[in-house]
């Protein structure tokens, strides 16, 4: 990459995808693990979200649906240049923010840099693939 804006990688993860992708998620070095407000209110989901990070996830009250998650992606990219962040969010919010279908059991790696964003779907039983 030729620009000075280092890419941020934001993993969008559903509670259902955490167990399926646990090995892959545990190998990452997370700058931060965040959880959308609706999920943070459920102690069981909060515990699941903390399973792959080194500390308790930070609740993001500003992330509650697809549009708010979409807006948060840009601010997270600015805040975490050159880092990797996880956001645990409801499948419906991820689907709306990324314009994808069936996000229940998969996670998405969203890389954002000066040139824009790229999205990669992470599937547990297959090699990583890009499916819009």
Higher-confidence residue of 94 and 47: namely 94
Higher-confidence residue of 22 and 65: namely 65
Which of the four pLDDT bands, split at 50, 70 and 90, describes residue 125? low
Whether the per-residue pLDDT at 4 is higher than 50: the answer is no
Predicted pLDDT at 132: 41
Nearest by Cα to 33 from 20, 21, 19, 47:
47
Q: Which residues contact 76 (CB under 8 A, 6 or more apart)?
A: 8, 10, 34, 85, 87
Q: pLDDT for 43-91, tens place per residue?
A: 888 888 877 767 778 999 999 999 999 999 999 999 999 999 999 999 9
Rounded to whole angstroms, the Cα distance separating 92 from 103 reads: 7
What radius of gyration do the chain's Cα atoms show? 14
Instruction: List the beta bridge partners of residue 118.
Output: 111
Rounded to whole angstroms, the Cα distance separating 2 from 90 reads: 35
Predicted TM-score of the model (pTM)? 0.86
Predicted pLDDT at 127: 40
Q: Which residues contact 56 (CB under 8 A, 6 or more apart)?
A: 46, 50
Nearest by Cα to 72 from 81, 62, 82:
62
Domains, the chain, in order of start with CATH, read: 8-122 (3.40.50.1240)
Higher-confidence residue of 94 and 56: namely 94
């Amino acid at each position: 990459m030729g620009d000075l804006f280092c890419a941020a990688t934001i993993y969008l993860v559903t509670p259902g995808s955490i167990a399926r992708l646990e090995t892959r998620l545990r190998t990452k070095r997370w700058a931060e693990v965040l959880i959308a407000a609706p999920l943070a209110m459920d102690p069981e989901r909060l515990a699941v979200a903390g399973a792959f990070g080194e500390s308790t996830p930070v609740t993001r009250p500003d992330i509650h649906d697809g549009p708010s998650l979409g807006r948060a992606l840009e601010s997270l990219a600015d805040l975490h240049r050159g880092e990797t962040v996880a956001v645990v969010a409801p499948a419906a919010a991820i689907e709306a923010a990324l314009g994808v279908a069936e996000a229940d059991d998969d996670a998405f790696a969203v890389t954002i840099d000066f040139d824009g964003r790229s999205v990669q779907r992470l599937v547990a039983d297959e090699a990583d693939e890009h499916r819009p």
